[in-house]
Structure 1
Amino acid sequence: MKSSDKKQNLQRKLESIRPNKADEKQILNLAVSRLKKGARDQVVLKDLKQQLRKLALEKKLSKETLDLFTEMERPNFSKDLATSSTTWF
């Protein structure tokens, strides 16, 4: 999958979430805005995870946003193992 496809998929996913809390809306809207301005999807994801992690630790995430955060934090073994094995050699 091309980087532009990944970026569009991420943008669509973030736009589909409709949180009730203002903090979550602001975080998600900022991420979407950054993607539209051409920021790299990996950078946006890293920042998004960091901001959502703070709210998750304070137990201030809605169910829908918590599901997104959980999905982002779930390990992707095919990608993660392939990346780590290339750095060992």
Structure 2
Amino acid sequence: MEIILQEKYKIADFLPGSGNTANIGSITNLEKLRNGTGPFSEYGSEVFEHYWRNYLRNEDAERMGIERPYANLEEYFRWKERQQKRKR
């Protein structure tokens, strides 16, 4: 047995943990878990928190009558840039 302790943002993935809820998924690569080198690790906890607080599943976006803003980090950064331009 091995116990790995990392801050959540360091081992979180950009995809949900399951298909029917918007719970936060985690990386599954053991070496990345040990090292805390998930996709959010280079961006920090603020990006992680903002990403997941604004994450919408397809079903949620459809119910709200809007297009899903993003499904991965690349799309998230484009969405965030558009949001910032609208505020100007």
Fold shared, TM-score > 0.5 on shorter chain: no
Where relative contact order (Cα < 8 A, 6+ residues apart) is larger, the structure is 1
More strand by share: 2
Q: TM-score, normalised to structure 2's length?
A: 0.29
More helix by share: 1
